[in-house]
Structure 1
Amino acid sequence: MTKEGKKIIFNVIKIMIGCFVFAVAVNMFALPNKLGEGGVTGITMILYYTHNISPAVTNILFNAVILVIGWKLLDKQTILYTILAVGILSVFLKFTEGLQFVADEGIVAAIAAGGLMGLGMGFIMKGEGTTAGSMILAKIMNKFLGWKVSYALLFFDIIVVITSLSVIGIEKFLLTIVSLMISTKVLDFILEGSNPKKTVMIVSDHYEEIALAIDQKISRGITLLNGVGYYKREPKKILYVVISRDQLMAIQNLINDIDPLAFVTISDAQSVIGEGFTREMFIDTEETGDSY
Structure 2
Amino acid sequence: MIKALINRKAYFIYKFLMIIAGATLAALSIELFLIPNLIIDGGIIGISLIVNHLTTIHFGVLFICFNIPFLIAGYKLLGKSFFLASLIGIISLAGVESLFHHTSPFTSTPLLATVFGGVILGAGVGLVIRHGGALDGTDIMAILLTKKIPFSIGEFIMFFNIFVFVWAGFVLGWEQAMYSIITYYIASKTIDMVVQGFEGDTKAVLIVSDHYKEMADCIITKLGRSVTKLNGKGGYINTDKEIIYVVVTRLEISKLKTIIAEIDPLAFTTIMDTQEARGSKFKSALH
Which residue number corresponds to residue 121 of structure 1? 125
Distance 1:10 1:155 in 2: 36
Which residue number corresponds to residue 89 of structure 1? 93
CA positional deviation for 1:79: 1.1
154 and 127 in structure 1: CA distance in 2 versus 1, 3 angstrom threshold: farther
Which residue number corresponds to residue 263 of structure 1? none
2 and 98 in structure 1: CA distance in 2 versus 1, 3 angstrom threshold: same
Which residue number corresponds to residue 165 of structure 1? 169
CA positional deviation for 1:138: 5.5
Q: Is 1:72 matched with 2:70? A: no
Amino acid at match of 2:116: A
Secondary structure in 1 aligned to 2:37?
coil
CA positional deviation for 1:154: 5.9
Q: Deviations over 1:199-243 (max 9, x none)?
A: xxxxxxxxxxxxxxxxxxxxxxxxxx99xxxxxxxxxxxxxxxxx
Which residue number corresponds to residue 185 of structure 1? 189
Q: How does 1:244-259 map to 2 (within 5 A)?
A: none
Segments of 5+ residues of structure 1 without an aligned counterpart are 197-224, 227-269, 274-278, 281-289
Which residue number corresponds to residue 52 of structure 2? 48
Is this contact kept in 1: 2:139–2:157, CA < 8 A? Answer: yes
Distance 2:269 2:67 in 1: 42
CA positional deviation for 1:99: 2.5
The CA RMSD measured in Å over matched residues stands at: 3.4
Q: How does 1:2-41 map to 2 (within 5 A)?
A: 2-41=6-45
Segments of 5+ residues of structure 2 without an aligned counterpart are 201-231, 234-249, 259-267, 271-287
Q: How does 1:265-280 map to 2 (within 5 A)?
A: none
TM-score (norm 1): 0.60
TM-score (norm 2): 0.61
122 and 139 in structure 1: CA distance in 2 versus 1, 3 angstrom threshold: farther
Distance 1:28 1:108 in 2: 12
Amino acid at match of 1:84: I
Aligned with residue 109 of structure 2, among 105, 110, 129: 105
Q: How does 1:232-251 map to 2 (within 5 A)?
A: none
Distance 1:38 1:5 in 2: 35
Distance 1:30 1:120 in 2: 14
Aligned with residue 62 of structure 1, among 60, 66, 88: 66
Name the % identity.
24
Mark the structure with the bigger radius of gyration: 1
Higher relative contact order (CA 8 A, sep 6+): 2
Distance 1:17 1:83 in 2: 14
138 and 127 in structure 1: CA distance in 2 versus 1, 3 angstrom threshold: farther
Distance 2:198 2:73 in 1: 33
Secondary structure in 2 aligned to 1:2?
helix
